[in-house]
Amino acid sequence: MDSENINHKALQEVLNALEIDRKKIAETYKTCYILFGLAALILAIGLLISFPMLAFFGALVPLVIGVVMYFQIQDEVKKYKFVYKTNVVSSVLKEINETFSITPQSGLPEYEFISSELFTTEPDRYKTQDLISGTADKTSFWFAEVHAEYKTETQTKNGTKTTWHTIFKGIIFVADFNKNFEVSTVVRPKGVGDAIGAWFSKNVFSFGNSELVHLENTIFDEIFATYSRNQIEARYILTPAMMERILELNKKSEDTISLSFIDSKMYIAFPLSHNYFEAPIHSSLLVPDLLTDDLSIVQFMQDIVHELDLNTRIWGKK
């Protein structure tokens, strides 16, 4: 038996064991939902027949049992999800690229999110997970899921109301561009500042002497606004070929991407509507297309290296 068959057999054994855990968790959740529904039904009937005390105490029993069961299963849920990512997802990632590794509890540091200059608003609440790193030929790259939010506070009769707004939800991709840029060059969707509304003036990042760069590709200029402190370097980075690659890359994303070229790194923000690499609870693990969608995004991220020709070492680091 060759190593590939051994690996597939080992992975199948992991999936079989995890499927047992998944079914237990799913059944527990189902029981909790039934108990919560029963509590609501008892309360409704009791109030309908004008026995509020009976309704309250009658509903309390299934409600308490359901809540206790729900919280008791959470440790098993966390363990199940962690094993799924570290054993199943990690193993399958190696089939795409043997250098790939996933660290579920790590992500893109908040300081790097801010220093990327991809966004005009500094987050008040920041979550990140599922850091995947690897190399393609000579190019090192990594990416992670990020959800960054800012808050607004308004005064009401009952006090202060806090409302949370999403700055960004999706994947941030970082790659070594093999060039120490003298200044930062940022490419954002046109109109991105409008989404920040009145809060924009509170925490806007200063562009210093950055200027709007008008490029030769009219389609690119219609979609993106490019800012840089050095017009010459911006055009050196955003060659006609590079702009065409970025436009092609943008077509593959759910929404308009953002890019920045800072120090020796390139950052790309891909807006995405849902989380990846999450273990299913209410559907089977033993299906052939279990990781199809997740792997497509990983392959997509790796293809960025080739799409943007990052492995062509035309610039040496200074």
Q: What is the structure's pLDDT at 144?
A: 93
Q: What is the pLDDT of residues 15-27, one digit of tens each?
A: 889 999 999 999 9
Instruction: Give the count of domains, the chain.
Output: 2
Mean pLDDT of 56-83: 90
Alpha helices in 150-215, H assignment, sequence order: none
Q: Please tell me whether residues 235 and 191 are part of one structural domain.
A: yes
Per-residue model confidence as pLDDT tens digits over 198-227: 333 333 344 456 788 888 888 998 999 999
Same domain, 183 and 300: yes
Q: Tell whether 159 is covered by a domain.
A: yes
Query: Given this model, what pLDDT does residue 195 score?
Result: 39
Tell me the pTM.
0.79
Residues 49 and 169 in one domain: no
In a shared domain, residues 256 and 119:
yes
* Helix boundaries (H) for the chain: 3-48, 52-72, 74-83, 90-96, 110-115, 218-223, 231-237, 240-251, 292-307
DSSP letter for 183, please: S
Q: Does the residue 255 lie in any domain?
A: yes
Residue 234: predicted pLDDT:
87
Q: Does residue 318 lie in a domain region? A: no
In terms of domains, do 291 and 211 share one? yes
Which run of H or E residues covers position 140? Answer: strand 139-156
pLDDT tens, residue by residue, 243-283: 888 898 888 787 899 999 988 888 999 888 777 888 899 98
Residues 59 and 104 in one domain: no
Q: Name which of 61-75, 106-120, 249-263 the model is least confident about.
A: 249-263
Contact yes or no for 188/167 (Cβ under 8 A): no
Mean of pLDDT over the chain: 83
Across the range 103-116, mean pLDDT stands at 92
Based on the fold, state whether residues 228 and 103 are members of the same structural domain.
yes
Domain annotation covers residue 286: yes
Among all chains, which residue has been given the structure tokens 């690897």?
134
pLDDT of 94 over the 90 cut: no
pLDDT for position 3: 44
Element (H, E) at 49: none
238 found inside a domain: yes
Residue 264 lies in a domain: yes
Domain membership of residue 51 (yes or no) is yes
CB 132 within 8 A of CB 102: yes
Residues 257 and 154 in one domain: yes
Q: Which band of pLDDT confidence, cut at 50, 70 and 90, is reported for residue 4?
A: low
Domain that holds residue 54: 3-72
pLDDT tens for 121-151 read 899 999 999 999 998 878 889 999 999 999 9
Average pLDDT over residues 293-306: 82
pLDDT value at residue 2: 46
111 and 60, same structural domain? no
pLDDT at 190: 85
Same domain, 250 and 146: yes
- The Cα–Cα gap between 272 and 269 comes to 9
The residue among 304 and 167 whose pLDDT is bigger is 167
In a domain, 143, yes or no: yes
Read off the pLDDT of each residue in 231-244 and give the average, rounded to a whole number. Answer: 86
Tell me the percentage of the chain whose pLDDT exceeds 70.
Answer: 88
Q: Name the token pair of 23.
A: 């079914």
CB atoms within 10 A of CB 249: 18
Residue whose structure tokens are 């995890």: 18
Instruction: Say yes or no: 105 and 227 in one domain.
Output: yes
Q: 57 with 138, same domain?
A: no
**pLDDT, tens digit (0-9, with 9 covering 90-100), for 163-198:** 999 999 999 999 886 677 888 889 999 875 433 333
- Per cent of the chain over pLDDT 90 is 34
- The backbone torsions φ and ψ at residue 190, rounded to the nearest 5 degrees and listed phi first, read -65, 140
Residues 34-57: b if buried by 16+ CB within 10 A, e if exposed: ebbebbeebbeebeeeeeeeebee
Could you tell me the CA-to-CA distances from 229 to 26, 131, 232, 235, 239 in Å, in that order? 55, 31, 9, 12, 17
Asked whether the CA dihedral 28, 30, 35, 36 is positive or negative, the reply is positive
pLDDT at 38 over 70: yes
Is pLDDT of 237 > 70? Answer: yes
